[in-house]
Amino acid sequence: MLLPSILRSVVLLVAGWIVVALTHLGFTLDSNTAQAAVTLAVAGAYYLVFRLVERVVEKIGGPAWLKGAAGALLGYAQPPRYKRTDEVTELLRQSRS
């Protein structure tokens, strides 16, 4: 399912931009390049924090609402499920023939 992956990528970037735009993180950013770099760093940290919360709650059996909330803050309440590598390899092989 591609939609969860797309939603999580877009929400991540938008969240990073919003955090930087609202706080400026204590920096005066005159350069668009510098602002973009900080936005990407914040977005990456945002994703890492909420993805780790999802994983930890899943591993330790924590409250389902916490996992759902972390997922929702990433744009989709459930982590994407990908097919095994063997199946993807088979699909690639079939697409080439």
Burial call 17-37: b when 16+ CB within 10 Å, e when fewer? bebbeeeeeeeeeeeeeebee
pLDDT in tens, the chain (97 residues): 557 767 777 787 787 777 777 776 666 656 777 777 777 888 888 888 888 888 888 889 889 898 888 888 888 877 766 656 566 677 667 667 6
User: In the prediction, which pLDDT does 83 show?
Assistant: 59
Which pTM does this prediction carry?
A: 0.57
Over its C-alpha atoms, the chain yields an Rg (Å, rounded) of 17
